[in-house]
Structure 1
Amino acid sequence: MAMNRRHGNQSVVVGRNKQRNVEESIVGVVVIVHDFEKSGPGKSASIQIYSGTELDPSTGNGKTSKTAKLKEWRSKKKGDGSRISNYKIKLKVDKGFGSPGAFVITNEHKHKFYLKSVFLQIPKLHPQPIHFDCNSWVYPFNVAAPPRLFFSNTSYIPSQTPRPLVELRKEELIKLRGDGKRENKEWERIYEYDYYDEFFRPELGESSSLPYPRRGRTVQHPNSDGSMDLQKCVPPDERMRQSKVKEIVSSSVEAALQFLIPTLKAQHYTTNHFNSFVELGRFFWAQKPKNMAQLDQWTTLRLQKFIPQNLFPQILSQKDDFIYPHPHLLEENERAWMDDDEFARQMLAGTNPVRITCLHRFPPECKAKVVSTIKASDIERNLDGLPLQQAIEDRRIFMLDHHDYLMPFLNRINSSNVFAYASRTLLFLRTDSTLKPLAIELSLPYSEAEGGEISWVYLPAPEGLEAALWQLAKAHVAANDSVYHQLVSHWLHTHAVVEPFIIATRRQLSVMHPVYKLLNPHFKDTMHINSLFRSFLLKPDGIFEKILFSGQFSMELSSELYKEWRFNEHGLPADLLKRNMAIRDPDPGNLSGVQLIFPDYPYAEDGLEIWTAIKTWVKSFCSIFYRDDDSVHSDEELQAWWSEIRNVGHGHKFNESGWYEMTTLSNLVEALTTLIWTATGLHAAVNSGQYAYASYPLNRPTLCHKFIPSEGTVEYAEFLSDPDKYYLEMLPGKFETALTAALTEVLSHHAKDELYLGRMSSHSWTDNARVRHSFSVFSKELKNIEKRIAERNKDPNRKNRSGPAKIPYKLLFPDTSNVSPKGGIAGKGIPNSISM
């Protein structure tokens, strides 16, 4: 009996050993971010792993582990009030499970949490951990079933996907597309297209007469008062960090306190316009009262029309003092705005350096029936002895053109209390590469039926009456340029045109796809900031309609200019060629393919270096995953992505010739470089300098309240009696100036933890060693570019680098330094995405 018992016990031990022999353990760490006031999920969250190498024939997917709960966590408080918690996990898998390729996580906690990353390891088989860069919200299972699926950081084009992950890859993409038949909930990761519909006037995008890029369908519509929950208007993975939302709110509150509230209170008792240049200067230099808890009823009602309802309580309760920055234009030379050289320089290095063109014939070509009224004799005397034709052949005559696209709108625009012209400004390139203004032509329609117009030409003058009239003409040109900058260069050509690419990427490219991995950092926060723009800036009676002379026709005007947009002309080299600012370079070693027609064009000179660095990185990246043209052409996800962008996202452009054919590796590289440049360098160049240049109405007014007076009129007599008073009354008033200053401060603000070009949020963003090496080369090149930009800014022979305003050109300075936090109005740094 004893022997039987002993043999019996031995058989139990053998059975247990056999059990151990058929199981392996996978250990890991789960990193979760959660709000400070809420507890972490702990054991309320569980994980199950899919093998990425071993197939379960019964399911067609990878073999699965047993389910395991999170446990043994440690937590650390972050500076923004949230907590980051590390949880341990241990999972049992059958022997021969292979390498983990995906996992699902179930949240049975009462709160959502942000899953930052997961690291898994099979100690005996995989000494190096397998990384999952998740960065996604996981909502409670009771509202957001089924469990969330995540893939490892290994990237595959579809044809190379390991068989155990093929169906999971397809199923996950299908979930993201939705059915378009119902309103999505805040927790649903669904990406669908929508038009600029009932909240805009007129509706944009539904007809070829008013084309527009498609936008993402929002989770919720704005309330009747225009307010929205700032954190629930886009799919969860597109939402900004709570800390960034707080920064935007704080910046908006400070801007309101500094500019809007004092102006509104004063406006109740005084005139709207500035009475002197001294008073205008004090508007920016004087210290404003900070505690606005006690507002009179009139000011409160006015303020509520322009401030999001979500922010209003915080403005009322604000008590802390703060230091508000002065516009850079006022720091070194308060009178720089008057200087003709500075007026011209900003066309090359200001906040809108993307409109100027080099003329190749005179008079300028135009779509209208009426040609320019600028005479050759008006300008030839200012060409440093050159005949006009010779100056044109030498590429030394330039134009800032705001004529053709504006003429059809002017009668409607000028029916309200604004006074706008269409303009052409001609300039001459001196031998030192600075530009000299030659003439300004201002035009108005006089016969809408016949397309006729009447024009006035103004010439620069050193002093006297002509000099005063010239300053008025420059103000109208600056107003034209300001409207084009805000509606087209900034909003349309970066924010709006990129959004369809984001939606198509989420819908058609798996997170496992290498192109998704490449583009994802450049899409961060864009859909969210675009939604906020639509809610507060672009809506009827929104901020743009209040500060821009285009008023209620602003979005329609941008739709008209979208008709001219071509993706294959949107890259920097192609844009420079289109504007005759560069010529083709036959040297195959020049990746940009172009040479500038003169060197001291700061935006283009710095931009071409950034462009070349991006293209080198993109080419290296794509060559790792695509062997040849056939592998590009046969990539089914890539082809579906490109087709959806052309046929849906930019559907009104599908039959135009402005698209690369996605059949070659070189075209793929060019398209991806263009897209990344748009989201990084181009946006930085037209956004970050707004407070420095555009907040000050003497430099860049956004509208004018008077035309330039004609002889024999009452207005001309007023002008003669006091030219300064007439000028100030022509410019934006106090409230419009306050609103513009507040807006440009917020738009120019970088978040404290902004990610800049050449940086990634995680060191483990990819497990591909070749990719990591190529990216490190890219980052090092950006540091070298920084050094070269700094050297150019110190070069006294490059006069356009700072000009009379003495503002060094740093808008395309990558800023790869490790100094943290950054944030604020730095005037430099290229954010990784259109995040403001």
Structure 2
Amino acid sequence: MTETRVNTLMVTSSGNYGMLHNNKIHLNCQFLGLGHSIKEHGRFGLVCSSSLSGGGNKMKLRVKKKGKQSSSPTMMVALNEGHEAISEESTTVKLLALVAVRNSKDNNKVFANEIVNNLLTIFWPQNQTKGVVLQLVSTQLDPRRMEAKLSKKTVLELSEDHKVDEKGRISTYKVEFIVDSDFGIPGAVTVVNGFDNEFFLESITMAQNVHFACKSWVQPNKLDPEKRIFFVNKVYLPCETPIGVKELREKELKQLRGDGWGLRVSSDRIYDYDVYNDLGDSDKGDRFARPTLGGQHNPYPTRCRTGRPPSTVDTKMESRPSDESELIYVPRDEELGDIKQEVIDQGKLMAMLKNIMPALVDKIMGNEGVFNIDYFIKESGQSIMFNLGGAVQEFFKFDPPKTFSREKSHFLLDDEFGRQVLAAFPLGIERLKVFPPASKLDPSKYGSVESALKEEHIIGHIEGMSIQQALEENKLFMLDYHDVYLPFLDRINALEERKAYATTTILFLTKMGTLKPIAIQLALPTGNPNTSSKQVLTPPKDATSKWLWQLGKAHVCSNDAGVHTLVHHWLRIHACMEPLIIATHRQLSVMHPIFKLLHPHMRYTLKTNAIARQTLINAEGTIETDHTPGRYCMQFSSAAYKDWWRFDMEGFPADLIRRGLAVPDATQPHGIRLLIEDYPYAADGLLIWSSIKKLVRTYVNHYYKNSNAVSSDNELQSWYREFINLGHPDHKNASWWPKLDIPEDLTSMLTTVIWLVSAQHAVLNFGQYPYGGYVPIRPPLMRKLIPKEEDPEYSDFVMDPQRYFLSSLPSLFQASRFMAVINIGSAHSPDEEYIGQTKDLSSWSGEPEIIDAFNQFSMEMKSIEMEIKRRNADPKLRNRCGVNVLPYELLIPSSERGATGRGVPNSVTA
């Protein structure tokens, strides 16, 4: 008997498969690469002309009508290639499906078990495994039972016999489903894993337009008795959900929300909220105790709930993992992929090796070992292969940060200081509107709000202008860290090897369009509300003032590094976006258009934040040990959240306007006018912001035609309410939360979210090592205050100012540890997904307007990349082009792997 392959085509009364007009069936049989034209042949017979190679074979398909025909029938037609096929009166049809499974380290266990089970089945048939049980769910209801129509269960065998393809990490297997002839279009598939181990289900494909993009770990049934539900890769608003899968849509969301109780284990998929009560470890002693973040005393966003048991000493706190091998819970699909995890593991190993020698030097020499990190930075351009010296360099030395040069001194020159404010760490600068600037702190607690800055400090540095003229012409700017640091300084300066000021720096915009620092105020608390301790430094006039000025700039950079990391980076991006991701999974179905839009922008973020809670922001983690606020780092972040963070100000133009760097201007392409024209971060950022907004507006307007569509979308409204009330409960009553009533409200919110997790995060994260890796010009902490003439240390300073300066910086081991951590964090993984590189548009296969919008967005990202490169070659733009001036590349969308100082991933991946 000759075996023939049967392709199965679904024919419906609408859609891409076929249409019925006046009892005549017209079919589009473009199916799995075969071109057929089918025409009516009699009342119930069809003739299919096939253009297969080898001649124009014809296939006769007799579709026998059974009972009274519905006015809009759905039927199945089996196409038998190159042979005459007669469909007898039958109530069932076979559907071929291809199931793709990702090969991972964990899947190897499944495949090994399958081999064993197959061998056992030969000799002991009763031991046959249940395998992976699949069942299709129709978009239609069975009119007799008023439940969704189901296929018969079929078993997926992960064996070589059923494998039809293998490409890289993806293996594809074939299965057959048996359905009733009036089954309709599949809307979902349920999966039950009968194996002993989880496996990663990539996709299930049945035909060109019947595709399930699963991309999820499926747990063994013994761990998770609930059937996994995967929906067809189509977009449906809640009100448009096909009736056959409506109940499943609600059931899936309920599963993801959980019940709020119990310990979460690694195999769970549950998303829930909790306060940050897991950063300290009271069981280890008071030294490791940290307050809860979240609540009246320390307001904060919420994080993903783990359900770990309480601490023994303080039952209000959650216990810590026993060691690094016990990972903090995130839902299973939030775990890192194999490639990303391998890169991180390699990075940790290299970091450990690079810290060996600095740790030994610090141990042997103690504080007498004056800082010299230069010895531990590779010689740029030197070949490191095939020689012992090269091996030492590769494994024990750091790649040179972009700001490092052996020809330069350890000093941060004024021009470079000003340039970095605009093009390296650009979120701290704000326009000075009143001189001198005044504090907003309570004078009864922190002393006089009056500044020590006077006209005589700056008048000689503003190109002959008066102060009022400079203010009116938008020439004066500042880095103002007075109010955010002063309330913590008593505690910070009481810490061992930690000294800080609350700094205010005045900068002047020159005729060349560059910034230069012209005055630095250094404030300390006095403990007496009637007095203040403030000193002002100005650009140097002699050797002594030169060193004092360098120390002052180092303290400013230390202040700035703390705010950059703890406020702009961790708080505004990582912490504030985590509850939005949780709400998205809990309230928006995977079929929801907004879930589809946000999905690539949520990748790896929860896991990245969990890693941070385990080793970075925890008690005596890297952030505490390497930044000025020390053990008060997260309380410092909480204070900024309480007094400063507002979601309505997180949009890019709104942030620029709030800081006084731009003003609204309808005549400008982006609706605002920059007050510093050569502000690389803002100029390049506006290109990306506008492109994101254009895409989002097209997308939102496609699905939401009017305000009623927005207000009546129950999933969308529940999502936004939960993001506010459960994600940011300490700000839930704030009046500044934007409304979500009309399509433009949704466009604005989504644009802000996508901007924050992509471009904004790229600026904050991927420049850390290239621009901040050379610690002498950007120390993350300082160990000494600036000596005054009456201080005992002043004589040491005068005798050897360079030694005093270097001894004020972090120790050698502190510096190398900091460099190692930010080097890992600044590096792109080989599996990075960059903005504009949308890999899968199958969800919108029937919506060309959306596909065109994504394709246009991708083209715009390429154009933006070219425009940024053009700007970097423009000699008129002195903040990004010139001798010893680094080109501004942080917002170039694409990148190679590693710490490149460029590249905009879709999501927070580091």
With the length of structure 2 as denominator, give the TM-score of the two structures: 0.81
Contact 2:841 2:851 in 1 (8 A): no
The 1:365/1:120 distance shift into structure 2, 3 A limit, reads farther
For residues 556 and 211 of structure 1, what CA distance do their matches in structure 2 show?
A: 9
The 1:416/1:617 distance shift into structure 2, 3 A limit, reads same
Contact 1:428 1:437 in 2 (8 A): yes
- 1:654 matched to 2:727: no
1:58 Cα deviation (Å)? 5.5
1:477 Cα deviation (Å)? 0.3
1:243 Cα deviation (Å)? 2.1
For residues 732 and 323 of structure 1, what CA distance do their matches in structure 2 show?
A: 18
- 1:164 matched to 2:254: no
Q: Deviations over 1:674-732 (max 9, x none)?
A: 00111000000010011112221211111111111101322111110000010011110
- 1:832 matched to 2:903: no
Decide which moves more: 324-333 or 111-120: 324-333
- 1:326 matched to 2:400: yes
For residues 422 and 591 of structure 2, what CA distance do their matches in structure 1 show?
A: 41
For residues 393 and 399 of structure 2, what CA distance do their matches in structure 1 show?
A: 19
For residues 550 and 110 of structure 1, what CA distance do their matches in structure 2 show?
A: 48
Decide which moves more: 825-834 or 689-698: 689-698
Q: AA paired with 2:163?
A: W
The 1:439/1:220 distance shift into structure 2, 3 A limit, reads same
Q: AA paired with 1:362?
A: F
1:770 Cα deviation (Å)? 2.2
Partner of 2:271: 191
- 1:257 matched to 2:325: no
Contact 1:569 1:658 in 2 (8 A): no
**Secondary structure of the equivalent of 2:738?**
coil
Partner of 1:753: 831
For residues 718 and 730 of structure 1, what CA distance do their matches in structure 2 show?
A: 12
- 1:241 matched to 2:337: yes
Partner of 2:181: 95
Contact 2:279 2:617 in 1 (8 A): no
Partner of 2:840: 762
The 1:68/1:437 distance shift into structure 2, 3 A limit, reads same
1:96 Cα deviation (Å)? 2.0
Partner of 1:707: 785
Report 1:13-92 matches (<5 A).
21-36=90-105, 37-40=108-111, 44-52=131-139, 54-57=140-143, 60-71=146-157, 72-74=162-164, 76=166, 78=168, 83-92=169-178
Contact 1:810 1:828 in 2 (8 A): yes
For residues 731 and 146 of structure 2, what CA distance do their matches in structure 1 show?
A: 40
**Secondary structure of the equivalent of 1:102?**
strand
- 1:112 matched to 2:198: yes
Contact 2:770 2:900 in 1 (8 A): no
Partner of 1:792: 871
1:320 Cα deviation (Å)? 9.1
Decide which moves more: 198-207 or 701-710: 198-207
The 1:667/1:452 distance shift into structure 2, 3 A limit, reads farther
The 1:467/1:319 distance shift into structure 2, 3 A limit, reads closer
Q: AA paired with 2:716?
A: L
**Secondary structure of the equivalent of 2:365?**
coil
Q: Deviations over 1:528-558 (max 9, x none)?
A: 0100001001111111111112011111010
1:206 Cα deviation (Å)? 3.8
Contact 1:231 1:239 in 2 (8 A): no
Partner of 1:694: 772
Report 1:415-434 matches (<5 A).
415-417=494-496, 418-434=498-514
Q: 2:759 aligns with which of 681, 694, 699?
A: 681
Partner of 2:429: 356
Contact 2:235 2:593 in 1 (8 A): yes
The 1:274/1:489 distance shift into structure 2, 3 A limit, reads farther
Partner of 1:345: 419
Q: Based on CA coordinates, which of the two structures has the bigger radius of gyration?
A: 2
Q: Deviations over 1:642-673 (max 9, x none)?
A: 00011110111111123110101111000000
- By relative contact order (CA 8 Å, sep 6+), the higher-ranking structure is 1
For residues 229 and 59 of structure 1, what CA distance do their matches in structure 2 show?
A: 50
Contact 1:426 1:438 in 2 (8 A): yes
Q: 2:567 aligns with which of 488, 502, 512?
A: 488
**Secondary structure of the equivalent of 1:47?**
strand
1:366 Cα deviation (Å)? 2.1
Q: AA paired with 2:100?
A: V
Contact 1:358 1:395 in 2 (8 A): yes
1:18 Cα deviation (Å)? 8.0
With the length of structure 1 as denominator, give the TM-score of the two structures: 0.88
Contact 1:153 1:765 in 2 (8 A): yes
Decide which moves more: 756-765 or 650-659: 756-765
Partner of 2:375: 282
Partner of 2:672: 594
**Secondary structure of the equivalent of 1:38?**
helix
For residues 816 and 621 of structure 2, what CA distance do their matches in structure 1 show?
A: 15
**Secondary structure of the equivalent of 1:131?**
strand
Q: AA paired with 1:614?
A: I
Partner of 2:18: none
Report 1:536-555 matches (<5 A).
536-555=615-634
1:106 Cα deviation (Å)? 1.4
Q: Deviations over 1:240-276 (max 9, x none)?
A: 1122111101011101211x11112222211346536
1:329 Cα deviation (Å)? 1.0
For residues 94 and 279 of structure 2, what CA distance do their matches in structure 1 show?
A: 55
For residues 391 and 58 of structure 1, what CA distance do their matches in structure 2 show?
A: 81
Q: 1:271 aligns with which of 366, 376, 383?
A: 366
The 1:698/1:58 distance shift into structure 2, 3 A limit, reads farther
For residues 152 and 86 of structure 2, what CA distance do their matches in structure 1 show?
A: 19
Partner of 2:703: 625
The 1:38/1:321 distance shift into structure 2, 3 A limit, reads farther
1:107 Cα deviation (Å)? 1.1
1:74 Cα deviation (Å)? 4.1
Unaligned residue ranges in structure 2 (runs of 5+): 1-63, 67-84, 115-129, 281-288, 310-317, 385-391, 444-448
For residues 119 and 512 of structure 1, what CA distance do their matches in structure 2 show?
A: 17
- 1:479 matched to 2:550: no
For residues 841 and 706 of structure 2, what CA distance do their matches in structure 1 show?
A: 29
Contact 2:294 2:730 in 1 (8 A): no
| Count of residues in Structure 1 that have an aligned counterpart in Structure 2 | 773
Contact 2:253 2:586 in 1 (8 A): yes
Contact 1:425 1:441 in 2 (8 A): yes
Q: 1:467 aligns with which of 546, 549, 555?
A: 546
**Secondary structure of the equivalent of 2:755?**
helix
For residues 533 and 630 of structure 1, what CA distance do their matches in structure 2 show?
A: 41
Q: AA paired with 1:73?
A: K
Q: AA paired with 2:699?
A: F
Q: Deviations over 1:181-229 (max 9, x none)?
A: 2112222211110111043354334422210110001376898675344
The 1:257/1:162 distance shift into structure 2, 3 A limit, reads same
Q: AA paired with 1:486?
A: T
- 1:606 matched to 2:606: no
For residues 369 and 840 of structure 2, what CA distance do their matches in structure 1 show?
A: 51
1:447 Cα deviation (Å)? 2.5
- 1:670 matched to 2:748: yes
Contact 2:328 2:611 in 1 (8 A): no
Q: AA paired with 2:867?
A: R
Q: 1:556 aligns with which of 623, 632, 635?
A: 635
For residues 811 and 713 of structure 1, what CA distance do their matches in structure 2 show?
A: 43
1:335 Cα deviation (Å)? 3.7
